[in-house]
Amino acid sequence: MKCEQFLEVLEQQDAVELQDPVRAHLQDCDACRALSADFEAIRTIALQLDVDVAAPAERVWISLRNQLEAEGLIHEPQIAPPGASINVTVRGWWANFQRPAFAGAFLGLLIAAAGTFSYFSNFSQTSVQTQLIPVQEASYVPSADSVFKEEVLTVGSNSIPGLQRQDTAVTDSIRRNLRIVDNFIAVCEKSVREQPDNQMAREYLYGAYQQKAELLATAMNHSMTGGLQ
Q: 68 phi and psi, to 5 degrees?
A: -65, -35
Residues 6 or more apart whose CB falls under 8 angstroms from that of 136 comprise 143, 146
**Least separation in angstroms between CB 68 and another protein:** 23
| Secondary structure of residue 135 in the 3-state scheme | helix
Number of residues that bind another protein (CB under 8 A): 31
- Nearer CB in complex with another protein: 102/184: 184
| Amino acid symbol at 142 | P
Contact between 193 and another protein per CB under 8 A? no
**Least separation in angstroms between CB 22 and another protein:** 47
Contact between 170 and another protein per CB under 8 A? yes
Cα–Cα distance between 132 and 206 in angstroms, integer?
A: 21
Return the range that interacts with another protein (CB under 8 A); candidates 107-115, 121-129, 147-155, 220-228.
220-228
Q: Residue 97, CB half-sphere, CA atoms under 13 Å: how many?
A: 28
Contact between 13 and another protein per CB under 8 A? no
Q: Residue 202, CB half-sphere, CA atoms under 13 Å: how many?
A: 18
Site of interaction with another protein (CB under 8 A): 165-170, 173-174, 176-177, 180-181, 184, 187-188, 191, 195, 198, 200-201, 204, 207-208, 211, 215, 218, 222, 226-229
